[in-house]
Every structure is written in structure tokens, then in C-alpha cells.
């Protein structure tokens, strides 16, 4: 019996086919297709012949959904609600460090001077 060759390892940011994602996550392809109908956030690129290509963000979402369903005890509806609640939550922005603020002010002053010199010319 011949041994199956191991598939090449893809880069972290590379797109994955549904077969590769299925192999990497241990989830059957039909489950991944079903999740696409239940979770609007999961939208892989579809090329000719309906070939699916999952972006790194899609892969992370699939892993998260799988964890919520299989380990955390969520139902499909529970995962849907949790993902929708996250989408509605405002994004908290971290304040700029003081050094960045000073740099921004210096650039602003340089631009004001340049505009004044240009207007005077």
C-alpha cells in the first residue's frame, strides 16, 4: 500500500479551500456549507464553479463557532445571538500615547507654516 503524500503547508495568511479547512479543523465539508447558511458573517469568496476560498478571518470565525458549539455548549441560535451582539457593540479605541499626540501637533504646525508660506508666495 502506498502512503498518501502530505499536503504542503500553507502560509498563515493564505486562503484555504473548503477541503483544506475541513482537514485542518476536523469539521465535515457539509457542516461548513451549512454554517454559511446560518451565520451571515461567514462568507468565503466563491469563484467559478462555486469553489470556496476561506480568508484567514473566515478560518478564525469557523474555529470560534466550532468552539462555541462543541466546547462551550452554545446552540446555533445562541452563537448567532452572540455574534450579532458583538457586531452591535461599539469598538473601544485606545487613547493615543502622549508621544504620538506631540508628533501629530508638530506635523500640524509644520503644515500650517507651509500653507502660510505658500499663500504668501
* Higher-confidence position of 36 and 5: 36
Q: CA nearest 66: which of 54, 76, 51, 55?
A: 76
Burial code of 21-34, b = ≥16 C-beta within 10 A, e = fewer? bbeebebeeeebee
pTM of the model: 0.65
Confidence bin at 57 (pLDDT 50/70/90) = very high
Domain positions in the chain: 16-90
Cell numbers placing 28: 465535515
* pLDDT, tens digit (0-9, with 9 covering 90-100), for 65-86: 999 999 999 999 999 999 999 8
Q: Under CATH, which number does the domain 16-90 receive? A: 1.10.1660.10
Amino acid at each position: 500500500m502506498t502512503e498518501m503524500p502530505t499536503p504542503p503547508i500553507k502560509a498563515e495568511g493564505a486562503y484555504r479551500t473548503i477541503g483544506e479547512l475541513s482537514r485542518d479543523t476536523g469539521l465535515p465539508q457539509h457542516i461548513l456549507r451549512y454554517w454559511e447558511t446560518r451565520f451571515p458573517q461567514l462568507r468565503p469568496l466563491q469563484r467559478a464553479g462555486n469553489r470556496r476560498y476561506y480568508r484567514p478571518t473566515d478560518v478564525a470565525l469557523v474555529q470560534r463557532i466550532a468552539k462555541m458549539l462543541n466546547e462551550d455548549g452554545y446552540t446555533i441560535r445562541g452563537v448567532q445571538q452572540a455574534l450579532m451582539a458583538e457586531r452591535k457593540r461599539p469598538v473601544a479605541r485606545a487613547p493615543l500615547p502622549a508621544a504620538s499626540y506631540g508628533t501629530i501637533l508638530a506635523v500640524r504646525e509644520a503644515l500650517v507654516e507651509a500653507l502660510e508660506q505658500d499663500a504668501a508666495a
